[in-house]
Amino acid sequence: MKPYAFHPEARAELLDAKAYYDHESPELGDRFAAAIEALVAEVCRAPQRYRFVRRPVRRHFERPFPYAVLYVDEPDGVIILAVAHFKRRPGYWLHRLKR
């Protein structure tokens, strides 16, 4: 299993989304956080398994939450670029590829 790191803006997206779901119901917030954690674990186990959304960025998602984990598979680990809601404008996270 590869190690991973969140881009700071992706971490903020995760926390903002969890806060939104916590406001609806603390149980829902916990379920959302667990769902994202499971997606990240699956990505780290098999990072090349998921489809490219735009090379070199891949995407993994699963219902019921309308969020995807966007990431780059690098030799030393996985970089989580975004925890993106499906209704956000496409490519808003592209600037995160530049280092």
- Per residue in 51-98, pLDDT (tens digit) is 999 999 999 999 899 999 999 999 999 999 999 999 988 899 999 997
Domain presence at residue 93: no
pLDDT at 56: 97
CATH classification at residue 26: 3.30.2310.20
Angle between helix 8-24 and 26-45 (nearest 10):
150
pLDDT at 99: 55
Domain presence at residue 97: no
Domain presence at residue 21: yes
Total count of domains within the chain: 1
Domain presence at residue 37: yes
Containing structural domain, residue 23: 4-86
The model's pLDDT over 12-44, given as tens digits with 9 standing for 90+, comes to: 999 999 999 999 999 999 999 999 999 999 999
Backbone angles phi, psi at 37, to 5 degrees: -60, -40
CA 21 to CA 36: how far, in whole Å?
13
Strands (E) across 1-93 are located at 4-6, 52-54, 57-61, 67-74, 77-85
Domain presence at residue 63: yes
